[in-house]
Structure 1
Amino acid sequence: MNHDDLLEALKIAFCYMPKAIEVTRYEYGDRTDKVLEHINTVREALLEGGIDPEEVYGDVNPELTPNSTY
């Protein structure tokens, strides 16, 4: 698997991860800090790969992402 394939796999996985704002002690209990750490690690890896984590979902699922007009 090459670097581009690994970044694509990371993008897909990121789409299925919870958003940091959704991670609460109620839902994740004692694992909350660890889950937030994992989310941050993936975000940093995407950024290092030149990928904006905020744009990942639209890149992976363009048919489900509304078009914006400015």
Structure 2
Amino acid sequence: MTNSTNDDLIQALKIAFCYMPKAIEVNKYEYGDRYQPVLDHIQMVREVLLINEIDPEEVYGEINPDSTPNSSY
């Protein structure tokens, strides 16, 4: 896989991650019997981001800088 292809895949993963629910929002009431697979999917994406040295907590701000509050530190 070329670097540009890998970069494109990582960028796509970051964008998709921004649309995923936060793990704290996933519960049996909202997701029924699918809540555990949804949590597993979220964890898998987080792990792939971390393996690629990307902090999942910073992704939303990187992808959507105009709608992210400025840091105070």
The aligned runs of 1:1-70 (5 Å cut-off) are 2-70=5-73
Structure 1: state its 5+ residue gaps.
none
Q: Distance in 2 between matches of 1:69 and 1:28?
A: 35
Q: CA deviation at 1:69?
A: 2.2
In 2, Cα distance between equivalents of 1:66 and 1:42:
24
Separation in 1 of the partners of 2:41 and 2:30?
A: 16
Query: Normalising to structure 1: TM-score of the pair?
Result: 0.95
Give the secondary structure class of the aligned counterpart of 1:2.
helix
Once residues 52 and 5 of structure 2 are traced to their aligned partners in structure 1, the CA distance between those partners, rounded to angstroms, is 13
TM superposition outliers: structure 1 runs of 4+ over 3 Å: none
Q: What is the letter of the counterpart of residue 68 of structure 2?
A: T
Q: Which runs of 5+ in 2 are unaligned?
A: none
SS of structure 2 residue aligned to 1:6: helix
Aligned letter for 1:55? E
Among all aligned residue pairs of Structure 1 and Structure 2, give the percentage whose two residues are the same amino acid: 69
